[in-house]
Structure 1
């Protein structure tokens, strides 16, 4: 197993400490801006309207991080909060999230291996998972997308 992957798996909480030190208002603001940028074409086409008046909790299980995502169709914007009541949740480890973001693993593979958990209104979480699966990493901009791709190459690929 790759050393970088081992370090990430064993020390995720330590590596995400800077996020925990950042005020949650800033975390949610940055995540909201990022989601609205990445999903702008999906928003323009009205494909997130199914999320109106619904909340999905995104959890990174090994990082003790959790965000609640919603959608306002009037403003055509994704909304992010640090607490709330979720209609559905999507949970995984940080390393699996990176593999998903870089599209190096199919979400269904992780789902059937119980490494990607969908709970609550599974139709809602499944629909949002499918939307996220259409996002192209290049939309993040070169430094961030290239860094994430390099990092993900250190991870072993899940067996299908």
Structure 2
């Protein structure tokens, strides 16, 4: 089983950087639809309203990816470029550990594996918001796979 996990991580390291070759319009469409569907309840409850008129830059340097997110009346919107109020950056493995709850967010930030730049108050509020989201807001199949991938990564 350990060999399989290592093989999957090796494959992910090779395949994920190819996402940067996908035209941005396709990335935006896929991400906006996925985020707005998966986060429909927190969006409806106003939990992401702190991003109205503000931009969060998510940067994943090892993949060469960068997206700007803001809250519009239709949900989260993604742009290729914007004036970021806050930037959260880190390698894909750190974001996977965060999303799958395999590592404490404070540890990831304290050890500078994830970095907040710009409006740190907004960044910390977003970090706490993401950490407080109930995994039940995600489709069960997505949470299961995120958790499985995160556990595989955490196991080394």
TM-score (norm 2): 0.84
Q: Which runs of 5+ in 2 are unaligned?
A: none
1:43 touches 1:76 (CA, 8 Å); kept in 2?
Answer: no
Task: Kindly state the Cα deviation for residue 91 of structure 1 after the two structures are TM-superposed.
Answer: 0.9
Map Cα deviations across residues 41-74 of structure 1 (whole Å, 9 max, x no partner): 22222222221111010011211111000012xx
Confirm whether residue 98 of structure 1 aligns to residue 96 of structure 2. Answer: yes
Corresponding residue pairs, total: 154
The correspondence for 1:133, drawn from 128, 131, 134, is 131
Question: Could you tell me which residue of structure 2 aligns to residue 8 of structure 1?
Answer: 9
Deviations 1:87-125 (A, max 9, x none): 110111111111111111111011111101000001111
Relative to the length of structure 1, the TM-score reads 0.82
Structure 1: runs of 5 or more not aligned: none
1:16-39 CA distances to partner (integer Å, 9 max, x unpaired)? 144223221111111112222232
Q: Distance in 2 between matches of 1:125 and 1:26?
A: 27
Deviation at 1:152, TM superposition (A): 1.5
- Alignment-derived partner of residue 41 in structure 1: 41
RMSD between aligned alpha carbons?
2.5
1:119 to 117, 120, 124: 117
Which structure dedicates a bigger proportion of its chain to helix?
2
Return closer, same or farther for 1:138/1:49 CA change in 2, 3 Å cut-off.
closer
Secondary structure of the 1:25 match is helix
Task: Report the equivalent of 1:28.
Answer: 28
| SS state at 1:35 partner | helix
CA distance in 2 between partners of 1:33 and 1:11 (Å)? 23
1:150 maps to 2:148: yes
8 Å contact kept, 2:28–2:78: yes
Once the 2 structures are TM-superposed, how far is the Cα of residue 157 of structure 1 from its aligned partner?
6.4
